[in-house]
């Protein structure tokens, strides 16, 4: 990470970045975007990610800040809750209108896959090398997704009830449908991603995810942004990202 930081302070004349914030110098960006990354113990991937993503976002002339939301303690990983927290904490920093929810291990291959928010929610990582650049199933919403602030609030964010791997993105897909929103996608040429693969132990699957998915639509109005509970341990503005470390309490 230190090497990556050095490289950015040189190549951009030290003008950008504190907390991973940037805005174009020669034009006014239409909206402010918050890029939210759920995180725990994946520093190698994070340094590769920020190394690649900043230049892409700069070339797209976006005004943005990168938030890394780190789950402290030994509670099971809750990707969805970390996204919800990122949404809330980002709004304490600035009036973001656009939110991109991003896994740390996905690198966009095509600069023209826009990191902005279209008029309906967007699944951006449609062609990932790990899945041989095809959609593994039609309703998949994993990897990278974009929402306007208004739409994310409308679906009450993600469910907070998925602990461990799997299902939370499928649940979000159901929320979008239940509110009559339509999921959009870039073409398979634009939405290409490389997954940074490392030898980490993967998270244990949430064994109850199938049952939880069955009552998605009944839960959505009381399980999400409006029932989110967490405590912030620290907020640190690193050069290339804002790190928000939080404690969660496992509850079902
Ligand atoms: C699916 C997972 C998603 C994940 C994709 C891609 C579930 C729920 C039971 C059907 N869904 O199987 O969360 O994004 O794989 O890895 O496990």
Question: What confidence tens digit (pLDDT) does each residue in 196-233 have?
Answer: 998 777 789 999 999 999 999 889 999 999 999 999 99
Average pLDDT on 163-173 reads 97
pLDDT over 80 (residue 14): no
For ligand 1, whether the C-beta of 143 sits within 6 Å is no
Beta-bridge partner residues of 247:
231
Helices 43-59 and 2-11: crossing angle in degrees, nearest 10, is 20
End-to-end Cα spacing for the chain: 36
Tally Cβ neighbours within 10 Å of residue 108.
22
Tell the residue nearest (CA) to atom 2 of ligand 1: 166
- Ligand 1 atom index nearest CA of 142: 14
The pLDDT tens digits for 140-157 are 999 999 999 999 999 999
Q: Is 43 in the pocket of ligand 1 (CB under 6 A)?
A: no
How many of the other CB atoms lie within 10 Å of CB of 109?
Answer: 18
Cβ of 109 below 6 Å from ligand 1:
no
**Ligand 1 centroid vs 205 CA: distance in angstroms?**
9
């Amino acid at each position: 990470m230190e090497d990556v930081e050095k490289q950015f302070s040189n190549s951009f004349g030290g003008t950008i970045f504190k907390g991973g914030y940037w805005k174009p110098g020669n034009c006014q960006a239409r909206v402010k975007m918050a890029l939210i990354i759920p995180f725990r113990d994946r520093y190698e991937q994070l340094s590769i990610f920020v190394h690649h993503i900043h230049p892409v976002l700069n070339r797209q002339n976006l005004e943005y800040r990168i938030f890394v939301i780190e789950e402290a303690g030994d509670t099971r990983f809750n990707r969805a809750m970390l996204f919800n927290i990122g949404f809330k904490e980002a709004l304490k920093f600035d009036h973001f209108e656009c939110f991109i929810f991003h896994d740390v291990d996905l690198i966009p291959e095509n600069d023209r896959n826009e990191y902005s928010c279209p008029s309906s929610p967007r699944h951006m990582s449609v062609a990932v090398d790990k899945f041989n650049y095809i959609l593994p199933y039609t309703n998949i919403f994993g990897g990278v997704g974009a929402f306007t602030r208004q739409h994310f609030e409308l679906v009450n964010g993600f469910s907070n009830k998925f602990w461990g791997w799997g299902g939370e993105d499928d649940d979000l897909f159901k929320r979008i449908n239940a509110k009559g929103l339509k999921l959009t996608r870039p073409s398979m040429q634009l939405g290409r991603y490389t997954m940074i693969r490392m030898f980490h132990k993967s998270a244990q699957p949430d064994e109850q995810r199938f049952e939880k998915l069955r009552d998605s639509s009944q839960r959505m109005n009381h399980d999400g942004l409006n029932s989110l509970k967490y405590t912030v341990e620290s907020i640190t503005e690193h050069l290339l990202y804002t790190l928000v470390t939080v404690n969660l309490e496992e509850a079902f």
